[in-house]
Amino acid sequence: MRDLNSTDLSGENLVGVNLQNLRFDFVDLSGANLTNANLMYADLTNTDLTGASLHGADLRGASLQGVKVEGADLEGARVDRESVKELRDYFGEVEIE
Contact 37, 13 (CB under 8 A): no
48 DSSP β-pair partners: 28, 68
d(CA 60, CA 30): 20
State how far the alpha carbon of 42 is from the alpha carbons of 19, 61, 93, in Å.
7, 7, 23
Q: What are phi and psi of 43, to 5 degrees?
A: -100, 100
Q: Domains of the chain: which residue ranges?
A: 1-97
- The CATH classification of domain 1-97, taken from the options 2.70.70.10, 2.160.20.80, 3.40.630.10, 3.40.50.10540: 2.160.20.80
Could you list the pLDDT tens digit for every one of the 97 residues in the chain? 577 778 899 999 999 999 999 998 889 999 999 999 999 999 999 999 999 999 999 999 999 988 998 899 989 999 888 777 777 665 554 444 4
